[in-house]
Amino acid sequence: MGAIRVGRFSRGLWGITAVVVFVADQVTKAVVQGSIPEHTTVPLLPHFFNLIHTNNAGAAFGLFSDSPAPWKTVLLIVISGALLAMVIAVMWRNQRLRWKTGVGLALILGGALSNLFDRIRLGRVVDFLDVYYRSYHWPTFNLADSAIVVGAGFLVFQLLFLE
């Protein structure tokens, strides 16, 4: 129960979800780049949430961003591309997926594609969401990162709590 046959409608809905995530992330990044100078903080909810224009040349959460290795960006692009190919293959090949699995994979696909697009186009990813409490800051992130985390949450929830 809960599994639906994957048809054109389901795949189309998942594709639309991925495109919406991609476009929303690219639009918000463009707005931030055009209106907030790099490293400028715009407080929205004092003591909790800011907008800040940063550029992440590393992986998730800024890992490897300080590395001067010339092959870093190429390696991150190759790894991202391989992981995206796996997500697409899972979505395309499985004839029976729970809708939550399809939505989770679509969110991951849209977010990962947007960050990969940035990395190919700019050599870095634009981040701008800054959540914090006092001096404790979560690493700055973007809408694509949020979609990837929510999508992964869908998948983990299914693994832990559903058959």
So which residues are the catalytic ones? 127, 145
Helix, coil or strand: residue 86? helix
Output the CA–CA distances (angstroms, integers) from residue 85 to 36, 49, 109, in the order listed: 34, 34, 9
Angle formed by the axes of helices 143-161 and 8-35, nearest 10°? 140
Report the alpha-carbon angle 103-127-49, nearest 5.
90
Tokens 């010339």 found at: 70
